[in-house]
Structure 1
Amino acid sequence: MIRCKFRKTLALCSAIAVTVGCSSTSESPVTDAQHSVAVSKAAPKNIIMVVSDGMGPAYTTAYRNYVDDATTAEIETVVFDDILVGNASTYPAPVSGYVTDSAAAATALATGVKSYNGAIGVDVDKQPLQSVMHWAKAKGMRTGLAVTSQIVHATPASYIAHNESRKNYNAIADDFYDVRVNGEFVADVMLGGGTSYFEREDRDVLAQFIDAGYAYADSYNRLASIPTGSNVIGLFAPVALPKVLDDKRKNRLEYLTQHAIKHLENDNGFFLLVEASQVDWAGHANDIGSAMAEMHDLAQTLNYLRTYVEENPDTLVILTADHSTGGLTIGANGDYLWFPEYLRNLKASAETMAKALGEQEDVGQYMAQTLGFELNSEELAHFAKVASLDEEARYGAIKAFLDSKTNTGWTSSGHTGVDVEVFAFGAGKQAFTGQIDNTDIAKKIFRFIDNRPHNGDSVDINVELNDGSAGSNDCDFKDDWRCQ
């Protein structure tokens, strides 16, 4: 049984460390015996991990059609086509079957270990795991994240925190401050939503970060005013950021990524997690308009990152999805047709349209203007009836209307178990080619961090929970895993 002494700081024992104990050795968390991967001598100085939550293969194909120039005979390629290198399986630990949730998938991508659905940075026995972000911090790299969800959501949380349930948002927010690597905060830059979880009556974690020297931004404009190279916590919404169709910044993920990099760049390199979080939420809602808009937000981010890598060729960018959501189909009802042109001029999300519809004097004019295309008499009469429904029913009706106009299909409101695509460019991209597992991505990143230039001397890594308590009682992680 693994035990740690309960002192002012609580050492968390990594389940993938080479030796069992409260801190690992200076060896990589993944040994040659555990995983063998060819790593170029010119390992990347900077590593940017991009996760597009819920983005199954149908999403990238749909996006290609969505942005296609209809005036040409060919369907032009998009950024995803240019950087595709392979596929990854996504299944969780056997206890959760074949279909993963975001928490188990993020834990696999962050730590290289399969876990149960709902797990945040812990294994099937709820033992804390060491992530690639922890390892990068231990190796002297600056670290950060930029996401469009709340920063305590499943994907970003799994790179920093340890919790038995993804739903424990407040405890996860506490971990962002309490979990340390060799005495340092895990992330130097944190950008996304989630003020409600950090600024609470029971504990003001945001104030603690500010007192610890972090610059704080609560708007995109204020983020731009922070001096380059700062430690930053930017929380731009109480929970998640608005849907991109409703946000005042239509390139919000690109913008956050640019600013994260601005503050992370340094001579010893950086590790950055970027998440296009709301592709998944559009899939859960079966909302094709938002799905394509969120994909466009991601594509703009990737185009920026390609330019960045051209100027900084010692940088590696990896993109994958944690799973596919919604069972999106391009074409439905037995008809071999899809009409993405009805999605290209949306002025607001279907959800926002539904909220506003009941307040309109001229329902038809509002819908035609906001949808971005003309409505026939039958469609005008349809929306006149829809306006009398409650908000949830209006939302469903608008989504169903767009599905009908585009001939889009969905098989689920949840996740599906299909493999997802893997994309990579920059230094070391060849390591991700072919058919791999999602855990392989973390294992390869661990090795890249070990073999990167300017790595310095080998170091011990001690991942700690800084809870401020005193005493020397034994702490049994398996039975009382948070030691509280």
Structure 2
Amino acid sequence: MRALLLFPLLALSSTSLFAAPKNVIYMIGDGMGPAYLTAYRYYQHQLTFGAEAANKPVANTIFDDLLTGMASTYPDDDTLVTDSAAGATALATGVKSFNGAISVNRQHIPIGTMMQLAKQLGKANGIVASSQVNHATPAAFVSHNVSRRNLNAIADMYFDYKINGQPVADVIFGGGTDFFIREDRNVIADFKAAGYQYADSWQQLTTLSQKPAIALLDKVALPPVLNSSQPAQLATLTSKALQLLQPSEKGFVLMVEGSQIDWCGHDNDIACAMAEMHDFAQAVLVAKAYVDANPDTLLVITADHETGGMSLGANGKYLWLPEIISKVSATGRKIADELNAAASDEAALKRWSELTHITLTAEEQQRLLAQRGGEQKALREVAVQLISQYSYTGWTTGGHTAADVPIMAYGKNREDFQGFMDNTAIAKQLIRYISTQQPK
């Protein structure tokens, strides 16, 4: 199977030799708008200094140190607000499309992606995500579909779409066994028969010794960081992916997505969002260390869109309190589940205090308890609203916004990503590098 418009951007690249990086690491913080970077700076400062934070100067984060510009994210329609599928399509192909599209254009014709191009040219490819690996962002780099919701068909295409007789991705790490091992088809069996090593647990991940390899570590997505017992999830997967991809003679393209930053934003869950930002930051540090050791590598970091319309300061107050957020030890969803599971209202309030360290007024307690025993969503919404209220975090929506997003770059040719760019311009520049022949 082959895309009808395979690699339409090759005409943009020069056939002459120039100093293109051999390897590209492309990291996408899903939903990570500018306020997320600012919030993470103060959150990290609070984690570092605790009670002494107010007396210490605020230091840069890894995101601040690598920041080079900003990007627009609008899709190919009149909404100006993109979803992850259209955003990832632009970031993977250099072509805008409609919301919901997985690397197809308005006529539903497949658009060639940078990873498909890399595969055609003999480079290796890797995908790492904290979501299911066939979710919108990773899917746009290796597959084509008119709808991001066709998750089983997208999973099938990860194996069925071949270039030079091989699947596009040599390394695939994240969640999603429910989509790859189904009653109607076992796609993992197909991968294993084709020579892929396979892991379905963190313990087995360490046994993967070479590419091609696939690791699906949960039924759907990986656990949210706040609820997980596995430290540094994304950094661990990124490090392993780089280890397996490194022996690629012609270089590689690795895409790493901090998928659940977006999901926390949709829930308006600030503690969840900051934990996912920290997990993503640890993965960025792994990638930066790789660039330091392998200077013929370019690291580019951006987002597909902003989620939630986050503001630091709310309700007319000139105040934001990361110390409140840093003490919350579970997502709003888990808090709701545990309060619903409590044997009594008194036990529920005790559990609230243990998980959030927030002391509620009598009225707020009743507001919280009134949702116990009902739908999880209603209780979760009250829980995250109270955390936002006490930390003075504002939100304008449970969806996406049209806000520009940050661009960060490090390593070879980082200067090509300075200033303002459209999301498609980022992809076009990377495609130019990938399509350039490396000097012998």
* Alpha carbons of structure 1 residues 15 and 43: separation in structure 2 relative to 1, 3 Å: closer
Select which of 394, 408, 419 maps to 1:409: 394
Deviates more, 1:377-386 or 1:115-124: 377-386
- Work out whether 1:49 is the aligned partner of 2:34: no
Give CA deviations for 1:415-472 in whole Å, capped at 9, x if unaligned. Answer: 1111111000011111111111101111111111133635x7xxxxxxxxxxxxxxxx
2:376 corresponds to which residue?
391
Describe the SS at the equivalent of 1:67.
Answer: helix
Q: 2: distance between equivalents of 1:31 and 1:272?
A: 20
2:359 corresponds in structure 1 to 375
Question: CA 1:447/1:358 → structure 2, altered by over 3 Å: closer, same or farther?
Answer: same
Kept in 2, the 8 Å contact 1:133–1:159? The answer is yes
Shift of the 449–16 alpha-carbon distance from structure 1 to 2, 3 Å rule, reads: closer
Query: Which secondary structure state, in structure 2, belongs to the residue aligned with residue 245 of structure 1?
Result: helix
Deviations 1:60-92 (A, max 9, x none): 011111112414342211111100001111111
2:290 to 305, 308, 327: 308
State the aligned residue count. 429
* Partner of residue 448, structure 1: 433
The structure with more helix, counted as a fraction of residues? 2
Deviation of the 1:247 alpha carbon = 1.4
1:255 aligns with 2:255: no
Identity %: 43
2:274 to 282, 288, 292: 292
SS in 2 for 1:12: coil
In structure 1, C-alpha distance between the alignment counterparts of 2:422 and 2:360, rounded to whole Å: 49
Residue in structure 1 matching 2:71, options 65, 88, 91 = 88
Equivalent in 413, 418, 427 of residue 433 of structure 1: 418
Give the conservation status (yes or no) of the 8 Å contact 1:358–1:387.
Answer: yes
Which structure 2 residues correspond to residues 240-251 of structure 1 after superposition, within 5 A? 240-251=221-232
What 5-or-longer segments of structure 1 have no aligned partner? 1-9, 19-27, 457-484
Cα distance in 2, alignment partners of residues 395 and 143 from structure 1: 39
1:67 aligns to what?
44
What do the CA deviations read for 1:258-307 (whole angstroms, capped 9, x no partner)? 11111111132211000000111111111111111111111111122222
Aligned: 1:14 with 2:5: yes
TM-score (norm 1): 0.85
Maintained 8 Å contact 2:314/2:393: yes
TM superposition shift of 1:384: 5.0
Where does residue 418 of structure 1 map in the other structure? 403
Preserved contact between residue 90 and residue 322 of structure 1 (Cα < 8 Å):
yes
CA drift of 1:364 comes to 3.0
Q: Which secondary structure does the structure 1 equivalent of 2:225 belong to?
A: coil
1:193 corresponds to 2:175: yes
Residue in structure 2 matched with residue 76 of structure 1 by the alignment: 59
Q: For the aligned residues, what is the CA RMSD?
A: 2.0
CA contact 2:299–2:410 (8 Å) conserved in 1: yes
1:16 positional shift: 4.9
Matched-pair contact (CA < 8 Å) for 1:96–1:117: no
Q: After superposition, give the CA deviation of every residue in 1:151-190 in whole Å (9 maximum; x if it has no partner).
A: 1111100111111111111111111011111222100010
Structure 2 unmatched runs, 5+? none
Is 1:338 equivalent to 2:330 in the alignment?
Answer: no
Give the structure with higher Rg (CA): 1
Query: d(CA) in 2 for partners of 1:177 and 1:416?
Result: 34
When normalised by structure 2's length, the TM-score is 0.93
Other structure's SS at 2:102 match:
coil
Tell me if the contact between 1:104 and 1:120 (Cα under 8 Å) persists in the aligned partners: yes
Q: How far apart in 2 are the matches of 1:347 and 1:60?
A: 20
Question: After the TM superposition, which of the residue ranges 274-283 and 355-364 deviates more from structure 2?
Answer: 355-364
Measure the CA separation in 1 of the matches of 2:366 and 2:231: 32
Question: Which amino acid letter does the alignment assign opposite residue 355 of structure 2?
Answer: T
- Note closer, same or farther for the CA distance 1:339–1:40 as it changes in structure 2 (3 Å cut): farther
Contact 2:25 2:287 in 1 (8 A): no
Amino acid corresponding to residue 313 of structure 1 in structure 2 = P
Q: Residue 432 of structure 2 aligns to which amino acid in structure 1?
A: R
Which letter does structure 2 place at the counterpart of 1:437? Answer: D
Deviation string 1:332-382 (CA, Å, 9 cap, x unpaired) is 1111111111111322212111101122242233222222x2526646666
Indicate which of 246, 253, 270 corresponds to 1:265: 246
CA distance in 2, matches of 1:108, 1:376: 45
Residue 42 of structure 1: CA displacement? 3.1
Query: Contact between 2:336 and 2:380, CA under 8 Å: does it hold in 1?
Result: yes
Classify 1:370/1:202 alpha carbon distance in 2 versus 1 (closer, same or farther; 3 Å). same
Secondary structure, aligned partner of 1:103? helix
Alignment of 1:282 onto 2:267: no
Matched, 1:238 2:219: yes
For 1:88, the aligned partner's letter is A
Measured after TM superposition, the shift of residue 29 of structure 1 is 5.0
